[in-house]
Amino acid sequence: MLTSGEIRLAKSIFGDSIHYHKVWIHHGSYLPFDLQDKNTAMSPNGELYFRAWYSNDFSLTNMSNQHLFIHEMSHVWQRERGMNVIFRGLVSWVVSYRYKLGRHALRCYPMEQQAQIIADYFVLKTYGYQAWKMLRARGDVTLDGDISETEIRQQYQKAMQFFPWN
């Protein structure tokens, strides 16, 4: 089950739009015979599966791990909205997690880009622009383009305008 801290963390971005009491975090592979890569997190069935990046409480971890937690919780949120995350996840290794803002609302982006936008926005909202820039330099934040802080904030606001929808 999620800890009370993890629920608070997730609620800071998803509000009450997720059935948090149904979400479990597993320390192990979703795939049989430990076929899930140790550096890959998965959330195919409304539960989260971590190997190397597992934490007993993601609310107490560093910003990068919280970014990953929110990304995976985005897949839980997508699944609860009816998205077939198992099928789409099968091809996620060939899709780009990179995205550009400014043209579309969140719902117009593919599954992995939606999850990235939500997680990247979480970092900007929670930790601020300097922290967001640091994760971007490391490759965790995947926004394409060289735009100003003001523009970035405006474009995230536009993309996230009706989020989270029920």
Instruction: Report pLDDT digits (tens) over 57-94.
Output: 999 999 999 999 999 999 999 999 999 887 666 656 66
| pTM of this structure | 0.95
121, 138 Cβ separation under 8 angstroms: no
**Residue-wise pLDDT tens digits, 98-146:** 999 987 899 999 999 999 999 999 999 999 999 999 999 999 999 999 8
User: What residue segments make up the domains of the chain, in order of their start?
Assistant: 4-159
* Distance from C-alpha of 142 to C-alpha of 95, rounded to nearest angstrom: 13
What is the DSSP code string of 5-16? HHHHHHHHHHTT
**Which residues are marked as active site?**
72
